[in-house]
Amino acid sequence: MPAIIKLDNVSWAYSREKGRALRDISVEIEEGSFTAVMGANGAGKSSFCRLLNGLIPHSLEGTLLGTVIIDGDDTKSSSVVQLAKKVGMAFEDPAAQLFTASVYDEAAFALENLLLEPEEIAIKVQRALEMSRLWDYRGFPVSALSGGQKQRLAIAAALAMANKLLVLDEPASQLDPLGAREVLSFIRELRRQKGLTVVMATGSGEEAAEFADKILVLRDGSLAAFGTPTQVFADKNLTASCMIDLPQVSEFAACMEYRGYPLPRFPVNLDEAAESALAWYNKKHG
């Protein structure tokens, strides 16, 4: 698949802050892929996300070096409104981006600001709310929704306008396990139905292992690694230095190796762990 995101030697420094939040990053992300962005607090995950929808450099003060290309458009010469037609973004706290009176109004807000025809707005809003399973709540005040429903609404509102790329900044970090599962399952279904490219910052190894094709690891604003979940989680030095939490099954594999019983394959999910443990047992007792 062709690259939908291309970063060429990109650095970013916020005004009034010493040093660079992002340093000399060059990477390409394929269209239709799911990329998890991981790293310690302060590693640059949120800044990386804000590169992709034009908040950097258009809405935040600072200095951007290098080139960010999104679906053929240079973010320096494209407005946030132009990029919003391709890139939808949802933040860690949905309350930070939900501010209208009703669920329907929230999904329609950005479209109305683009001065679209009422008929087109109605079609896009209904499609977005049906996808997020919120159509039956369209007349409800936003405050009546659960945490998971609010996050689904924030994503639906972003995608009512965007059609290419979904950028998520730790969308499940403030939710209980049920709400987190609800939101992440919704994201997976959106990707399947719309063929979206997804970039999601997360501190959860479990989320990255289950949903991501690739993991982009940041360390102090620099690109430390970009590989499959297996490649990233199996690198003990990388995960330790970048303070990345492993999935539980990967911790089990690391513990087995430490005790002198390495599994034949390093697992990142439950199915891989079961297969690898069974292969190890059969080899030992077969």
Q: What domains are defined for the chain?
A: 1-86+163-177+194-229 (3.40.50.300), 96-161 (no CATH), 247-286 (no CATH)
- Positions of the chain with pLDDT lower than 50, given as ranges: none
pLDDT digits (tens, 9 = 90+) for 188-201: 888 888 888 999 99
pLDDT at 163: 80
pLDDT score, position 286: 64
Global pTM reads 0.90
pLDDT of residue 283: 80
For residue 265, give the nearest of 238, 237, 228, 240 by alpha carbon: 228
pLDDT at 29: 97
For the stretch 153-181, pLDDT in tens is 988 888 887 888 999 999 888 888 888 88
User: What pLDDT score was predicted for residue 241?
Assistant: 96
